[in-house]
Chain A
Amino acid sequence: MNNLYPLFNLIIALTAAPLMSGVINRVKAFFAGRKGPPLLQLYFDIGKLLRKGAVYSRTTGVFFRLAPPAGLVFILTALLFIPCGAYPAVLFFPGDMVLVVYLLGAQRFCMLLAALDTGSSFEGMGASRDAHFSVFSEAVLFLCLAAMSVASGSVSLNGMLFTAGGRIWQVSPPVLLVVVFVLYIVLLVENYRVPFDDPNTHLELTMIHEAMALDHGGPDIAMFEYAAALKFWILASLPAGLLFPYGMKPDFFGNSALFLGVIALTAALTGALESCAARLRLVKVPQMLTAAAALSVVALIFLAK
């Protein structure tokens, strides 16, 4: 039974990930003085989209069709390596964090090519911006992973979060908080949230992520949305895993509930942040990420001391 727990956690991640978009939107609605969409809106959306047909552009070819399922598969595979609170990941091996980051990169590869496949200037614009910012965000993510690796003495995600089980905080709590902060920035930029992108915008010229999905429809867009939700879950799991209250030693269901709670808190925080900050100018995004990189380097040096 114990061996099956990670699988159960995986199922929880797969089912609960779209909930986070609902949490974010509800928090934003609260700040705006509105009621907001239902918490389960994304489930409804995905359900509706899956029941639709599709319209394809005549310009597009294989990549356009391939990208949504392939991207989803990459994300799903990455999810296997994410530990869930006080329970390990489904799979782990030394260096799995490198694979996880590169799987996210592979998903990006598919999305960018699918965007260019349409021959639309808007999709090209989104792709260009995404390619631009990912250069920085991935490097920052690697620096954070290096810092976590140093602090936990482990070279796998499972070791950093699950095996270390909170011992990681014994080294230097304030410095690790910096790492958590930087991970949160990575979460925002990789999930195209404010202040890096505006998930609510309807203006093609300002989009990044949405621009790349402009020509997709039906089940494809459902896969896009679901992959985005899972990606949020994956990247939120890193700071959430660090902040997880391991000391409580919860049972299986308690653990799942706690982990879900921590991730929902991350989502709520995102919603709150989106309610009180404007979006950055595009040219300032790399500057912001460079600052994050500098922070993580400082953290790394302190942790290794």
Chain B
Amino acid sequence: MMSSGASIQNSGTLKLGDIPRMRIEDLRGFILREVSSGSRIVSLFGHSGREGGTDIFAVTAHDKSGRLSLASAAVKGGYDSLTPDCPQAELFEREIFEEHGIIPRGHPWLKPVRRNTGGGVKREFWRVPDRRCHEVAVGPVHAGVIEPGHFRFQCLGEDVLHLEMELGYQHRGIERALISAPPARALAYMETVAGDTSIGHALAYCRACEALSGMHIPARAQCLRGIALELERLANHSGDLGALSGDVAYLPTASYCGRLRGDFLNMTALLCGSRFGRSLICQGGVNFDMDNGLVFLLREKLEASFAALKGAVGLLWVTPSVLDRFEGTGGLSAEQCFALGLVGPACRACGIERDIRFDFPYGIYRFEQIPVATYPSGDVFARAYVRWIECERSVDFIRSQLESMPGGVTLQRPGIFAPERLTVSLVEGWRGEICHVALTDSRGGFARYKITDPSFHNWLGLAVAMRGEQIFDFPLCNKSFNLSYCGHDL
């Protein structure tokens, strides 16, 4: 009998007892079947469950039909690795191996994800077995104000034969800090899962909590959450576009976008007093409301900044020297993108429609749909251009929200979590799909809280995109993905 998973809504809940528990071979079959039918792995994690074993939970998403499936299996010791048949499971399996010591047999590149040693295996890099090739070790300290991470290139001359990342420098143990009872600082932790995605992660967390406590959020709060999320997207996308042009030494866009990113951040600050939207979103709604004056001011600032952004970014698409650098650099095909299970703009730049706001709409996006922005070429240009289209659409969205903002309260008293539940909360952050999975124990505290940042899906995409490229183009490719180190490291 083919075992099938339970289906669940985005931020729906499921009793733990209703989740199908299979044998690990069946779970493997379930995942492979789902993936081959067009689904992808959203989250795959272990949970040290009852009677000492490890339960593995798999969440898959079928974007076309908007179906989330869920299944679990108990495993002891090891199992046959999924990765050879389903590359997108690679990092998840390594993570399970690191945290629970479960060995995925036949995993092509098994080593710990975040720690130097885990499961008795030391992290080592693959080396090209050729004396003529050299290695370039970049990081953990990078030029510029960016996060720590180590990149190891195998090169011959300028050509990159292979790239491997070593992250984990930012590991803080956030998931573990949430276990048992939600601490008073839980929201603050969430806002710093990835500092540039404060709103995205806070939103995903609050939605998970609200689902577990069965709350309904007032419409005005939904609307404000949407505005904040899109402002975050605007700020980061415009910053990225500026950084991309800075990486090709194209100054006009670089310097203007640097300033405009600040403008968008300041708009968030108008909402809540924090440029990164700290403390704006909370369980039960939002902490800050807007009066009419603020709405007017925000609209005015938005129009002004967007006009400037249009001018600055528009230069990129008409300057031949910039296009020459962007086009054909760091290309990924749609097949590779499917296989690797990429998310966010990096995925949409391969021509694949994959956007949580559209596929698994939540909150305000149930009422106001944002069309998915895609571009088929898969290169740096596509990733830049998709960002630009998203900027345009975000501005449209914010405009219309500001025009027809629903009235009412913005905050509700939080409730208590239902026991023995599981919820999956997906949010489309600016970098892509943020997935939070929460399991509650019998007393209504978190038994397991699993965060999957979009970076976790996408790092391998960057490595693959760099193969055969020039090492000179790495900063450009890296910036076009602009992945999070701390979001990956947790």
- Give A residues with C-beta under 8 Å from B: 28, 31-34, 121-122, 124-125, 128-129, 194-195, 198, 200-206, 274-284
Contact = CB atoms under 8 A, between A and B. Distances in A.
Interface centre among A194, A198, A201, A203 (most CB of B within 10 A): A203
Given A202-B143, A205-B471, A278 B322 contact: yes
Nearest to A276: B252
Given A203-B475, A279-B249, A121 B135 contact: yes
Contacts of B255: 32-34
Given A205-B475, A282-B470, A125 B249 contact: no
A200 B248 CA distance: 11
A281 to B, nearest CB: 6
Contacts of B251: 28, 31-32, 274-276
A278 B245 contact: yes
B10 to A, nearest CB: 39
Interface in B36-91: none
A279 B144 contact: no
B321 interface: yes
B249 A274 contact: yes
A280 B143 CA distance: 21
B288 interface: no
Nearest to B255: A32
A126 to B, nearest CB: 11
B472 A280 contact: no
B319 interface: yes
Contacts of B249: 194-195, 198, 200-201, 274, 278-279
Nearest to A279: B249
Contact of B252 (A32, A201, A203, A205): A32
A202 B254 CA distance: 14
Contacts of A194: 249
A205 B137 CA distance: 10
Nearest to B158: A282
23 contacts: A28-B251, A32-B254, A32-B255, A32-B256, A33-B255, A34-B255, A121-B134, A122-B136, A195-B321, A200-B249, A203-B143, A204-B143, A205-B472, A205-B474, A276-B319, A277-B321, A278-B319, A278-B321, A278-B324, A279-B248, A279-B325, A281-B470, A282-B158
Contacts of A204: 138, 143
Contacts of B106: none
B157 interface: yes
Nearest to B134: A121
Contacts of B248: 278-279
